[in-house]
């Protein structure tokens, strides 16, 4: 994982293209506006080129980043889609195409200088990242979240609004932590998990499970992210 060495990326003048013209894409555009960056447009496989998302045009489908060398040279890219597998795929394809990812962090975020941040991360307003925490590439962190001391969040996770991760929590790759969920310190949540809104996680959760409640209990397998079901997910995309 490429790190920023604990330094928050400064507000900049980069021109940004956002992969995903839905709600998360609009949030990425707001982060660009809040940090002085220009949004050139969105890439979206389901929206018509030339149509707009809050006044900003859809330029074409995702693979424009691979086909348009001039766009790659002029812009930085962020993947703003909720599907963790799709995010993972496009982080890889962007890197393979030689394009540049950008990390977007709202100016109100309090981030310890000793925290480590991967590329292609979004962090929404009023979140706190505590000392020694590490956030993997392509994670999306909504507002008012708390990422506790020495917490490790692996790539392409999503932490929803007001979730709080206790000291040394470990979140496996691609997991989704629901709004208002809280983890007890030293908890491990496996990869590909989905933790329900307002849950309190007091025991480790194995990989690829949906868990919810206070205390959180496993409800079922999270088939959408389990590799055994990944092919079906890709076909439905």
Ligand X SMILES: CC(C)(COP(=O)(O)OP(=O)(O)OC[C@H]1O[C@@H](n2cnc3c(N)ncnc32)[C@H](O)[C@@H]1OP(=O)(O)O)[C@@H](O)C(=O)NCCC(=O)NCCS
Residues 231/234/235/237 CA torsion (nearest 10 deg) = 160
Q: Is 162 in the site for ligand X (CB under 6 A)?
A: no
Contact assessment for residue 175 and residue 155, using Cβ atoms and an 8 Å cutoff: no
Q: For helices 227-236 and 84-96, what crossing angle results, to 10°?
A: 80
Span near ligand X by CB under 6 A; candidates 54-62, 98-106, 211-219, 227-235: 211-219
Identity of the residue, 40 or 201, whose beta carbon is nearer to ligand X in the bound complex: 201
Q: Is 26 in the site for ligand X (CB under 6 A)?
A: no
**Element (DSSP H or E) covering residue 31:** helix 23-34
Identity of the residue, 109 or 197, whose beta carbon is nearer to ligand X in the bound complex: 197
Tell me the closest approach of the beta carbon of residue 121 to ligand X, in angstroms: 17
Of the residues 1, 69, 73, 219, which one makes contact with ligand X according to CB under 6 A: 219
Of the residues 118, 136, 196, 207, which one makes contact with ligand X according to CB under 6 A: 196
Of the residues 124, 157, 189, 194, which one makes contact with ligand X according to CB under 6 A: 194
Could you check whether the bond before residue 100 is cis, i.e. omega within 30 degrees of 0? no
d(CA 46, CA 138): 21
Of the residues 40, 139, 141, 210, which one makes contact with ligand X according to CB under 6 A: 210
Span near ligand X by CB under 6 A; candidates 33-41, 42-50, 84-92, 212-220: 212-220
Q: Is 95 in the site for ligand X (CB under 6 A)?
A: no
Distances (CA, A) of 72 to 115, 116, 126, 159: 29, 26, 31, 29
């Amino acid at each position: 994982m490429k790190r920023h060495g604990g330094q928050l990326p400064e507000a900049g003048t980069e021109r940004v293209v956002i992969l995903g013209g839905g709600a998360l894409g609009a949030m990425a555009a707001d982060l660009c506006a809040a940090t002085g960056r220009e949004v050139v447009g969105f890439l979206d496989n389901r929206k018509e080129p030339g149509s707009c998302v809050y006044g900003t045009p859809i330029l074409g489908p995702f693979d424009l980043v691979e086909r348009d060398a001039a766009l790659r040279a002029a812009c930085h890219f962020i993947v703003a889609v909720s599907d963790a597998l799709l995010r993972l795929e496009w982080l890889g394809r962007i890197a393979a195409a030689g394009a540049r990812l950008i990390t977007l962090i709202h100016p109100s975020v309090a981030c310890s200088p000793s925290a480590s941040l991967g590329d292609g991360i979004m962090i929404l307003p009023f979140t706190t990242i505590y000392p020694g925490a590490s956030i993997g590439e392509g994670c999306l962190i909504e507002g008012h979240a708390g990422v506790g001391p020495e917490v490790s969040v692996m790539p392409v996770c999503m932490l929803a609004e007001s979730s709080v991760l206790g000291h040394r929590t470990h979140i496996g790759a691609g997991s989704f932590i629901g709004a208002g969920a809280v983890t007890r310190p030293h908890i491990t949540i496996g990869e590909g998990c989905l933790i329900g809104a307002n849950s309190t996680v007091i025991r480790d959760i194995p990989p690829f499970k949906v868990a919810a409640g206070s205390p959180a209990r496993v409800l079922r397998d999270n088939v959408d992210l389990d590799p055994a079901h990944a092919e079906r997910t890709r076909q439905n995309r």
